[in-house]
Amino acid sequence: MSAFEWTVRPLPAWPHPSTERRRGPYTFRASWDDTLRDLAAEVALLGGDEVVLGVVCDPADLTLRGRLRANATPRHPGVVMEVATDGDVLVFASDVCERWTHNVRSISLGLEALRAVDRHGIGQARQQYRGFAKAIAGPAPRDAARVLRDLSGRDVVASSDPAVLRSAYRAALVRWHPDSPDGHRPTFDQLQSAAEALGLRS
């Protein structure tokens, strides 16, 4: 088995509805090293050896290795994990805990629970993972509007006016386009995904 690798990808905003009442800081006793070891084992059983953890932080919060700096605190505790398997890129997300590291552990435990479906003989051909395939996952319009709000700085969540949405989209494009001074490719890609969900891209 190849060595397990993980990196953090900065997210400009949490792309899903936020959990209102999160589990406290004492939810798990396992250490971060224990969490990474367990996650590596689950990912290996999926046929992968590398994950990308999407965390709401600034690019400057990352080390050269793509890890979150020790003194950095994410602006949101949620984690979106992507793992490339033999057939798909699977995406798992959690923000049920107050600490981002605990949400990584929640994802790891969720993978273990999904694997139990096969172990107990009630699934076929890894059916339980199909809903997590990246190809069929896209933001709902309201979630996309939240992303557009966070990236444009304009409150468009309650708006259904195409002109308002397009204006916010254009403002965000200017800021986040990779050729702009403050441009950022992952953020730009997230903006494009939100714009597509809102019907702003022709």
Q: Is the dihedral of CA 50, 54, 55, 61 positive or negative?
A: positive
Residue 202 lies in a domain: no
Per the CB < 8 A criterion, the answer to whether 169 and 151 are in contact is no
- DSSP secondary structure string, 17-70? PPPSS-B-TTS----HHHHHHHHHHHHHHHT--EEEEEEE--GGGB-TTS-B-T
Q: CA nearest 27: which of 108, 99, 112, 110?
A: 99
Computed over every residue of the chain, the mean pLDDT equals 83
More confident residue, 95 or 129: 95
Same domain? 13 vs 111: yes
> How many separate domains does the chain show?
2
Can you tell me the mean pLDDT for 33-52?
Answer: 91
More confident residue, 157 or 37: 37
Domain span at 27? 5-136
Report CA 122 to chain centroid distance, whole Å. 28
Residue 151 lies in a domain: yes
* CA 180 – CA 156 distance, rounded (Å): 23
Same domain? 90 vs 166: no
Quick check: 49 pLDDT over 50? yes
Find tokens 């050269």 and name the residue.
64
Predicted TM-score (pTM) of this structure: 0.64
Amino acid at 87: G
- Of 52-61, 166-175, 193-202, the poorest mean pLDDT is in 193-202
Same domain? 104 vs 158: no
Find tokens 């009442």 and name the residue.
21
* CA 173 – CA 192 distance, rounded (Å): 9
Give the per-residue pLDDT at 119. 63
* CA 172 – CA 192 distance, rounded (Å): 10
Same domain? 120 vs 71: yes
Q: CA nearest 87: which of 16, 138, 136?
A: 136
- Give the CATH number for residue 165: 1.10.287.110
Same domain? 100 vs 179: no
More confident residue, 29 or 77: 77
Per-residue pLDDT band at 72 (split at 50, 70, 90): very high
CA angle 23, 24, 27 (to 5 degrees): 80
Q: CA nearest 17: which of 145, 184, 119?
A: 145
Give the per-residue pLDDT at 53. 94
* CA 155 – CA 15 distance, rounded (Å): 16
Residue 67 lies in a domain: yes
Residue 37 lies in a domain: yes
Give the model confidence (pLDDT) of 77-125 as tens digits.
999 999 888 767 888 999 999 999 999 999 999 988 888 766 655 555 4
Same domain? 65 vs 22: yes
